[in-house]
């Protein structure tokens, strides 16, 4: 008759299939899964396939139901009956990492978790005696309990059960005296790795059982056990807190015989020595007898003829010493095991792969360069088999695989960053380069292999996060998390995939119900209890770094960490933080507000001496992480200052790239009084190496310094000790020129960095030529649309008028407004248009196409009153007055009481006055008459804009009268006997010096117009001017020769309009170029310069104006 069993997870189905395989032939055990679909038979691959996707708690709940189906109804059977029923099945079919062990304890003994009377040892002993359990059955029950996981509450209840099982009802029933040696050894090993016990074991009956058991085994059974079995037994006893003198004597005796080459009685003498070589190597390390590895028998067993691939895999975890540095004997073991695995990796099964991965991770952790090299060889060798057998690996093996490959890949990338060559790559073997003898890597193969790594390992592991215990989950997430470099192995899409996997593993909503709530509480408590404090911190940091998982799991983890760091009784425990864990805590410091971890970090980071052991790379990363949060700025600045002191003392060093990162981290916080103590000292170490920076780090340096430039006079810099800042512009612009000419930046990076140079006002002819040449020769495409405003802003800030480039930008921008951008333009894009047009106006570049786009926006329904006023001002400055200009102007003035206009800034109001000013001087007569005679228009400009305009002119006048240029210019005028004086307050334009009674002479004596002496400030003088007719195909060197500012002087910005309007008013204008005037040293030089400026009008005073375009072309 067929049996029908209900199963709730594929692992449970696998267990029952194995039970069915033991039945007589013809007996088939059909399985009815939870969904109701019936399968009479399942293949091995189907049974062992990964479970369906679900949350972490749902996967545990399925395992819970599997255990319940096997152990039986808790209300109809006693705990001993359920434990016995479970032990008959579980030990044979469930591996140690099976999820059923995580949930079995409360099901086999639920009353114990509720402090029932059965917790009494004598009661359970009586139940065992009444059931008549044989010693073998008691041993099976003991091993079953030792495999179970659970919370501390369950542990307190399970210990009496273990005690009753080992003692029995009478003294003669002591389990250690009644078990066969092999089963006794299994029980001792099971106790040594029991998750529910606290080590060392304190319970007296359990310690007596262990002591009696090892005494009995040492009496004669130990001689029949292999060295591997004895070593495993010794490790279990040591973990339980028991000394093993008899076992140590037996093991030392065996190792001594092996070292001497003499025969002995024992398993090794019967031909199984090669099969036990892994245990021999492990014992030699445990007993500090490494000389055994040099013996002839061990070396022969390691030769290819005797060493099998299976034994080589088992040998890997024990090949290196636990504490001492590896010697030549260890290197021989490592080399032979590696060679054998490379030759016979196809014969490895799942267990062998697990040992191989465990050994590779152990070799990586040793830090020995040779061991790391061999680990890379091992990982490359087994990668095809790991990828193909991944569905059959358990959580422990998945975590080991991901940890090993991620670590090796990061190590290889780090070697490439430091030495410029990829070494010890975990997927593709390095190839020696015949040209320089270094290691080169085939880029295509490496890229393809790393993509396979994400596809064949990372993604499958993420899909199985729900079936992992929290410990293995923490290992996987820690392996994927960024290391010292914030970028890490994953890109944005990969991090999004990790976040999605965590969200699916820990969803915000779970099932409801009291039974589910009890299970959830007990399951999570048991999982978190199994983790150390460091593992809890790593898991919490992983959830915070990837921003995945529901809030409740992070809160539960934080609560457990809080309980451990702030216990209700006793002193607070110490927590050992690794370098990377400290860094991760700083990167997720927002998770620990008001937490014990925050208190711990505050105490640690407030003392520079506490972080002294950090390597420089970790210190820089910690500093960067702290500065990204709103921590008190004294903390990172104090750490940076202390680090600089250590560098000055020669205690540590930093690479130029690390100095850039330090500067980038603290620059936003570095204000007086910290300025002199940090930033100049960083620059002193950085400036000599700027030319050696990579293009990416050079761009970061520009971005950092441009975000908060320090402006001070040269004298002040010398007094404060930061004179290094005077050399910084020349050094950086030279490095930028070198990076651009070498092709280190694409067009986006060139424009961005040119914009940063503009913010800093750092200019060099050669640098500007190289960057402008790349911008000119690069075709503009749709992705380049966001670059036009930064490029025009950079040209205006650096005073570069490259007419072919500006024309190219304008034509493409107008084309994009017609064919790419929405019509009508939304308000953000109208603001972008206004900014773009404003920069072109400053550069005095005029375009009919751009003027047409501005005119179209006057009819745009999305444009606000503020934007329409700005459009009118831009068109007036362009001297462009279409028919709709008057209508739009009248409408804006009628809305002058709107909140939009009331919120105008002073700069907006000053700019709006240009509507009136430019229309009066440059507009048609009818428009001029309307603006000056219409009462509404007169009222609007008098009330809203003129006051701010004249206030600005008065400010300029006051600034000029307080300057050194005014004093020297006044002295030169007096020495020359000229009748010039500063203009009166209230004039429409501030004129530095003007003829006496100039207003009365205007229009009265056209043959002798009054003089207007205008000072052109440095920021109003172009550094670079190339006309529209220049050849755009020139390289950087030829382009630099086309710069006409080397022969002539050109003004731009507001001085162009000012000079044009003064000439329209009737003045004879003359220009004083302050960049030249301030360089004059004697009074005679100033007088000669003044005479030239007043008596030689012409090309030296050339200005840009809309109506001078054709005249400008005659000089080409």
How would you label 293-310 residue by residue, b for 16+ Cβ within 10 Å and e otherwise?
bebebbeebbeeeebbbb
pLDDT in tens, 16-61: 434 433 333 333 333 323 333 222 233 333 333 333 447 898 899 8
pLDDT in tens, 531-545: 999 999 999 999 999
pLDDT of residue 699 exceeding 90, the answer is yes
- Lowest average pLDDT, out of 141-155, 194-208, 254-268, goes to 254-268
pLDDT of residue 100 exceeding 60, the answer is yes
| Beta strands 1024-1026; 800-802: pairing state | parallel
pLDDT value, residue 633: 87
**Closest of 157, 147, 162, 210 to residue 184, by C-alpha:** 210
Query: CA-to-CA distance for 969 and 115, rounded, in angstroms?
Result: 99
**Closest of 831, 914, 813, 817 to residue 868, by C-alpha:** 831
In the numeric block, which tokens belong to residue 589? Answer: 């410091």
Tell me if 79 sits within 8 A of 109, measured CB to CB: yes
pLDDT in tens, 1014-1072: 999 989 999 989 888 877 666 777 777 788 888 888 888 888 899 989 988 888 899 99
In the numeric block, which tokens belong to residue 602? Answer: 């505050």
Mean pLDDT is highest, among 291-295, 333-337, 395-399, for 395-399
pLDDT in tens, 452-461: 999 999 999 9
The alpha carbon dihedral of 481, 484, 487, 490 has a sign of negative
Q: Structure pTM?
A: 0.83
In degrees rounded to 5, what are phi and psi of residue 800? -115, 115
In the numeric block, which tokens belong to residue 854? Answer: 């501005």
pLDDT of residue 505 exceeding 60, the answer is yes
pLDDT value, residue 31: 30
DSSP 1051: B
pLDDT value, residue 693: 92
In the numeric block, which tokens belong to residue 713? Answer: 């006079």
**How confident is residue 1114, by pLDDT bands cut at 50, 70 and 90?**
very low
pLDDT value, residue 522: 86
- 372 or 43, which is more confident? 372
pLDDT value, residue 515: 65
**How confident is residue 496, by pLDDT bands cut at 50, 70 and 90?**
very high
Q: What stretch of H or E contains 1069?
A: strand 1068-1073
**How confident is residue 379, by pLDDT bands cut at 50, 70 and 90?**
very high
Tell me if 853 sits within 8 A of 814, measured CB to CB: yes
pLDDT of residue 207 exceeding 70, the answer is yes
In the numeric block, which tokens belong to residue 301? Answer: 């067993």
Query: CA-to-CA distance for 213 and 234, rounded, in angstroms?
Result: 12
The helix/strand/coil state of 1091 is helix
pLDDT of residue 950 exceeding 50, the answer is yes
pLDDT value, residue 571: 72
pLDDT, the chain, mean = 83
pLDDT of residue 701 exceeding 90, the answer is yes
pLDDT value, residue 943: 77
pLDDT of residue 274 exceeding 50, the answer is yes
pLDDT value, residue 570: 67
Tell me if 872 sits within 8 A of 889, measured CB to CB: yes
CA distances from 824 to 227, 851, 867 (A): 85, 16, 14
**How confident is residue 1113, by pLDDT bands cut at 50, 70 and 90?**
very low
- Lowest average pLDDT, out of 349-363, 839-853, 943-957, goes to 943-957
**Closest of 144, 45, 46 to residue 98, by C-alpha:** 144
pLDDT value, residue 171: 54
pLDDT value, residue 172: 54
pLDDT of residue 705 exceeding 80, the answer is yes
Residue 995: strand pairing partners: 980
Stretch 620-633: mean pLDDT: 91
The crossing angle, in degrees rounded to 10, of helices 803-819 and 765-777 is 40
Residue 1024: strand pairing partners: 800
Stretch 838-849: mean pLDDT: 92
pLDDT of residue 168 exceeding 90, the answer is no
pLDDT value, residue 544: 94
């Amino acid at each position: 008759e067929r049996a029908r069993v209900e199963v709730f997870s594929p692992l449970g189905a696998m267990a029952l299939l194995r039970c069915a395989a033991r039945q007589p032939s013809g007996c088939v055990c059909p399985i009815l899964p939870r969904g109701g679909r019936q399968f009479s038979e399942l293949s091995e691959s189907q049974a062992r396939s990964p479970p369906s996707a679900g949350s972490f708690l749902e996967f545990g709940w399925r395992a819970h139901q599997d255990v319940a189906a096997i152990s039986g109804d808790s209300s109809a059977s006693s705990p001993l009956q359920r434990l016995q029923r479970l032990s008959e099945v579980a030990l044979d079919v469930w591996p140690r990492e099976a999820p059923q062990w995580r949930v079995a304890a409360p099901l086999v003994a639920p009353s114990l978790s509720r402090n029932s009377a059965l917790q009494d040892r004598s009661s359970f002993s009586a139940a065992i005696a009444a059931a008549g359990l044989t010693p073998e059955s008691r041993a099976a029950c003991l091993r079953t309990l030792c495999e179970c996981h659970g919370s501390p509450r369950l542990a307190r209840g399970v210990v009496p059960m273990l005690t009753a099982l080992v003692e029995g009802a009478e003294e003669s029933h002591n389990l250690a005296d009644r078990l066969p040696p092999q089963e006794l050894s299994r029980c001792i090993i099971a106790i040594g790795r029991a998750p529910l016990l606290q080590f060392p074991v304190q319970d007296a009956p359990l310690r007596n059982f262990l002591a009696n058991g090892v005494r009995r085994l040492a009496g004669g059974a130990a001689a029949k056990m292999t060295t591997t079995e004895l070593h495993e037994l010794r490790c279990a006893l040591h973990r339980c807190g028991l000394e093993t003198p008899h076992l140590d004597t037996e093991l030392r005796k065996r190792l001594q015989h092996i070292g001497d080459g003499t025969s002995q009685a024992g398993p090794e003498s019967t031909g199984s020595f090669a099969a036990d070589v892994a245990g021999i190597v492990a014992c030699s390390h445990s007993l500090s007898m490494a000389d055994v590895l040099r013996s002839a028998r061990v070396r022969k067993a390691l030769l290819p003829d005797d060493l099998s691939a299976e034994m080589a895999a088992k040998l890997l975890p024990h090949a290196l010493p636990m504490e001492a540095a590896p010697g030549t004997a260890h290197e021989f073991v490592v080399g032979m095991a590696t060679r054998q695995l490379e030759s016979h990796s196809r014969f490895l099964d799942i267990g062998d792969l697990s040992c191989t991965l465990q050994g590779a991770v152990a070799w990586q952790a040793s830090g020995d360069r040779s061991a790391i090299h061999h680990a890379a060889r091992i990982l490359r060798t087994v990668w095809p088999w790991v990828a193909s057998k991944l569905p059959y690996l358990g959580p422990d093996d998945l975590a080991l695989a991901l940890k090993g490959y991620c670590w090796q890949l990061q190590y290889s990338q780090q070697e490439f960053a430091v030495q410029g060559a990829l070494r010890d790559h975990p997927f593709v073997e390095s190839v020696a380069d015949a040209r320089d003898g270094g290691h080169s890597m085939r880029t295509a193969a490496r890229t393809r292999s790393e993509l396979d790594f994400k596809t064949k390992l990372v993604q499958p592991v993420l899909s199985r996060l729900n079936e992992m215990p929290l410990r293995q989950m923490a290992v996987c997430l820690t392996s994927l998390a960024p290391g010292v470099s914030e970028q890490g192995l994953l890109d944005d899409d990969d991090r999004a995939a990790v976040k999605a996997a965590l969200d699916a593993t820990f969803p915000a909503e779970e099932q409801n119900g009291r039974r589910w709530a009890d299970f959830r509480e007990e399951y999570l408590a048991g999982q978190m209890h199994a983790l150390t404090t460091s593992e809890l911190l790593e898991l919490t940091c992983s959830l915070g770094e990837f921003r995945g998982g529901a809030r409740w799991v992070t809160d539960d983890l934080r609560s457990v960490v809080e309980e451990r760091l702030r216990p209700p009784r006793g002193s607070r425990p110490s927590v050992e933080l690794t370098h990377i864990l400290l860094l991760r805590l700083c990167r997720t410091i927002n998770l620990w507000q008001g937490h014990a971890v925050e208190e711990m970090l505050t105490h640690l980071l407030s003392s520079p001496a506490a972080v002294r052991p950090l390597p420089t790379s970790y210190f820089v990363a910690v500093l960067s992480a702290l500065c990204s949060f709103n921590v008190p700025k004294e903390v990172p600045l104090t750490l940076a200052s202390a680090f600089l002191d250590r560098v000055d003392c020669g205690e540590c060093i930093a690479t130029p790239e690390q100095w850039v990162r330090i500067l980038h981290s603290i620059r936003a916080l570095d204000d007086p009084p910290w300025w002199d103590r940090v930033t100049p000292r960083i620059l002193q170490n950085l400036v000599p190496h700027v030319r050696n920076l990579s293009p990416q780090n050079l761009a970061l340096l520009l971005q950092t310094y441009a975000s908060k430039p320090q402006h001070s006079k040269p004298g002040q810099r010398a007094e404060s000790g930061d004179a290094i800042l005077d050399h910084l512009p020349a050094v950086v612009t030279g490095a930028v020129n070198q990076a651009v000419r070498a092709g280190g930046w694409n067009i986006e990076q060139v424009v961005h960095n040119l914009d940063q140079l503009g913010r800093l006002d750092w200019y060099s002819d050669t640098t500007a030529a190289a960057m402008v040449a790349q911008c000119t020769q690069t075709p503009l495409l749709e992705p380049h649309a966001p670059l036009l405003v930064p490029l025009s802003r950079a040209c205006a800030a650096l005073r570069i008028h490259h007419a072919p480039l500006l024309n190219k930008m304008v034509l493409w921008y107008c084309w994009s407004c017609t064919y790419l951008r929405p019509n009508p333009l939304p308000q953000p894009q109208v603001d972008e248009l206004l900014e773009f047009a404003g920069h072109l106006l400053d550069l005095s570049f005029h375009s009919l196409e751009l003027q047409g786009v501005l005119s179209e926006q006057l009819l745009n329904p999305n444009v606000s009153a503020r934007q329409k006023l700005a459009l009118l001002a831009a068109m007036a400055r362009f001297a462009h007055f279409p028919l709709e200009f008057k209508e739009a102007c009248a409408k804006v003035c009628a809305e002058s009481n709107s909140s939009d206009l009331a919120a105008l800034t002073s700069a907006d109001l000053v700019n709006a006055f240009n509507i009136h000013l430019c229309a009066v001087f440059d507009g048609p007569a009818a428009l001029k008459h309307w603006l000056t005679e219409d009462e509404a228009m007169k009222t609007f400009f008098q009330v809203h804009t003129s006051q701010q305009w004249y206030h600005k002119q008065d400010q300029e006048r006051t600034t000029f009268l307080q300057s050194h240029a005014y004093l020297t210019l006044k002295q030169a005028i007096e020495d020359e006997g000229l009748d010039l004086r500063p203009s009166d307050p209230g004039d429409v334009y501030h004129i530095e010096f003007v003829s006496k009674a100039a207003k009365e002479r205007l229009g009265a004596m056209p043959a002798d117009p009054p003089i207007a002496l205008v000072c052109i400030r440095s920021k109003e003088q172009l550094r670079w001017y190339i006309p529209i007719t220049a050849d755009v195909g020139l390289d950087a060197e030829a382009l630099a020769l086309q710069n006409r500012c080397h022969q002539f002087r050109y003004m731009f910005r507001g001085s162009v309009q000012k000079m044009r309007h003064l000439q329209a008013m009737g003045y004879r204008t003359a220009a004083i170029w302050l960049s030249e005037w301030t360089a004059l040293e004697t009074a005679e030089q100033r007088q000669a310069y003044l005479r030239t400026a007043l008596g030689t009008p012409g090309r030296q005073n050339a200005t840009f104006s809309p109506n001078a375009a054709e005249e400008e072309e005659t000089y080409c």
